[in-house]
Amino acid sequence: MTVTEVPPEGLTISAAAQMSGLSVDTLRYYEKEGLTLHRPGRSSSGQRRYTEQNVKWLGTLVMLRRTGMPIRDIKKFVELYRRDGTEADRLAILEAHRVHVLEQLDEVQTHLTAINRKIDYYKTAVMDGK
């Protein structure tokens, strides 16, 4: 199921968790901590119902967390999002995070280069030993 296949009545928390790759407990934690742009609605029986908009934001949350953005920065971004005229502040948060991600990429690339050198060394050693 893709985000555009979210039914009109919304997704259960279990379905939203499965779609986002997060656990049900993580979704509840994110909601409790105020990391959701819009709280999921509730069915007549009180179950959370995740809309397409909720699921798209979960994708953004996953991306931000997996690239190392701290919860406190995401929380600040969400708080700013809820207020008009804060686009410049939100932009600043994302630009600062981009710098962090680029630094991480550079470090990983340096490590990958070292791993490749070691692989080349051992390939040569294995070939010479035959």
Cα R_g (the chain), whole angstroms: 21
Can you give the pLDDT of all 130 residues of the chain as single tens digits? 456 688 888 999 999 999 999 999 999 999 999 999 888 989 889 999 999 999 999 999 999 999 999 999 999 999 999 999 999 999 999 999 999 999 999 999 999 999 999 999 999 999 987 6
- Indicate the helix (H) or strand (E) that contains 31: helix 24-32
Distance CA 81, CA 107 (A): 31
DSSP 8-state code for residue 8: T
Distance CA 96, CA 121 (A): 38
Q: What is the pLDDT of residue 44?
A: 87
Distance CA 47, CA 29 (A): 16
Q: What is the pLDDT of residue 81?
A: 94
Distance CA 41, CA 60 (A): 19
Q: What is the pLDDT of residue 77?
A: 96
Q: What is the pLDDT of residue 2?
A: 58
Three-state secondary structure of 52-114:
HHHHHHHHHHHHHHHCCCCHHHHHHHHHHHCCCCCHHHHHHHHHHHHHHHHHHHHHHHHHHHH
Q: What is the pLDDT of residue 103?
A: 97
Q: What is the pLDDT of residue 8?
A: 85
CATH no., domain 1-66: 1.10.1660.10
Tell me how many degrees the CA angle 27-33-39 measures, rounded to the nearest 5.
60
Q: What are the structural domain ranges in the chain? A: 1-66, 86-130
